């Protein structure tokens, strides 16, 4: 699969996220990302369970959203990300609010170089793994820094709905009728244009199939505890009717895995 990663490597990914960082941080600070704040964020937080006192590494922490959620709940958190630009925003927030989070610039595929052996009770990763240039290496590396019995609780964009071709068919009034997807088996890097009134930037992610993902997770040595396809709560859809589409098709896939030895 290495040839499919051509042109999509740590350097290009770092560059894209550095360029995206200010806009991404501004969008988060606006509080308008209700998919995150009212839907997949709370779902992944719930999946983590009780984290008080745990030593947690948040991988692909970006501007620190999930690291802060874990720290708020009493965990001792370290965040690692490839992009100094994204981390600069995490550090800025840390300087003002002091969650006690340690941030580190680094590659998820090389965690053993930064941490001494297996040392984390839990690794979390919020919508970052699919953006990594070498996902199998990142999963092996995460496995190696967990204590035996430690968990990886991660979310990714759902590989079955986030395909290289993906478009909502709408009726004349703009109502979403159905999601058209295609090219599911076309593995490889895909460009994403993020566009809103606040921002416009491009990043890349690696599209893989569901079977690829589970093959990589098992090859890395993880035991699967559970998988989840979260849907928004009725109250969230009532508050943000746009969220209704996420109760019709699976947008996110979450897994709870364990290092068994």
Residue ranges binding ligand SAM (CB under 6 A): 10, 13, 17, 60-63, 65-66, 80-83, 86, 107-109, 126-128, 131-132, 138
**What is d(CA 127, CA 204) in angstroms, rounded to the nearest whole number?**
13
**What is d(CA 129, CA 123) in angstroms, rounded to the nearest whole number?**
12
CB closer to ligand SAM out of 139 and 243 = 139
Residues in CB range of 210: below 8 A, 6 or more apart: 159, 160, 253
CB closer to ligand SAM out of 86 and 122 = 86
DSSP state of 40: I
**What is d(CA 39, CA 16) in angstroms, rounded to the nearest whole number?**
26
Give the nearest distance from C-beta 67 to ligand SAM in angstroms: 8
CB closer to ligand SAM out of 54 and 139 = 139
Give the nearest distance from C-beta 173 to ligand SAM in angstroms: 32
Count the helices and strands in the chain (H runs, E runs): 8, 11
**What is d(CA 100, CA 102) in angstroms, rounded to the nearest whole number?**
7
Give the nearest distance from C-beta 104 to ligand SAM in angstroms: 10
CB closer to ligand SAM out of 31 and 241 = 31
Give the nearest distance from C-beta 178 to ligand SAM in angstroms: 26
């Amino acid at each position: 699969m290495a040839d499919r990663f051509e042109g999509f490597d740590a350097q290009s990914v770092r560059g894209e996220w550095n360029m995206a960082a200010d806009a991404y941080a501004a969008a988060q600070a606006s509080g308008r990302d209700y998919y995150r704040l009212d839907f997949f964020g709370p779902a992944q937080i719930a999946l983590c369970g009780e984290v008080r006192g745990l030593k947690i590494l948040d991988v692909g922490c970006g501007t620190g959203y999930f690291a802060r959620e874990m720290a708020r709940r009493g965990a001792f958190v370290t965040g690692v990300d490839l992009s100094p630009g994204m981390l600069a925003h995490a550090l800025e927030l840390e300087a003002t609010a002091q969650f006690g989070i340690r941030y580190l610039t680094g590659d998820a595929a090389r965690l053993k170089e930064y941490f001494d052996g297996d040392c984390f009770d839990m690794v979390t990763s919020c919508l970052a793994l699919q953006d990594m240039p070498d996902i199998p290496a990142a999963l092996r590396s995460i496995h190696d820094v967990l204590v035996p019995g430690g968990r990886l609780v991660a979310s990714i964009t759902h590989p079955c709905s986030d395909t290289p071709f993906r478009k909502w068919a709408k009726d004349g009034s703009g109502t979403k009728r159905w999601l058209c997807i295609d090219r599911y088996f076309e593995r490889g890097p895909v460009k994403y244009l993020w566009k809103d009134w606040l921002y416009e930037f491009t990043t890349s992610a690696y599209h893989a199939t569901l079977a690829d993902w589970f093959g990589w997770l098992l090859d890395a040595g993880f035991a699967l505890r559970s998988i989840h396809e979260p849907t928004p709560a009725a109250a969230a859809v009532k508050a943000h009717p746009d969220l209704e589409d996420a109760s019709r098709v699976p947008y996110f896939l979450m897994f709870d895995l364990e290092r068994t030895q």
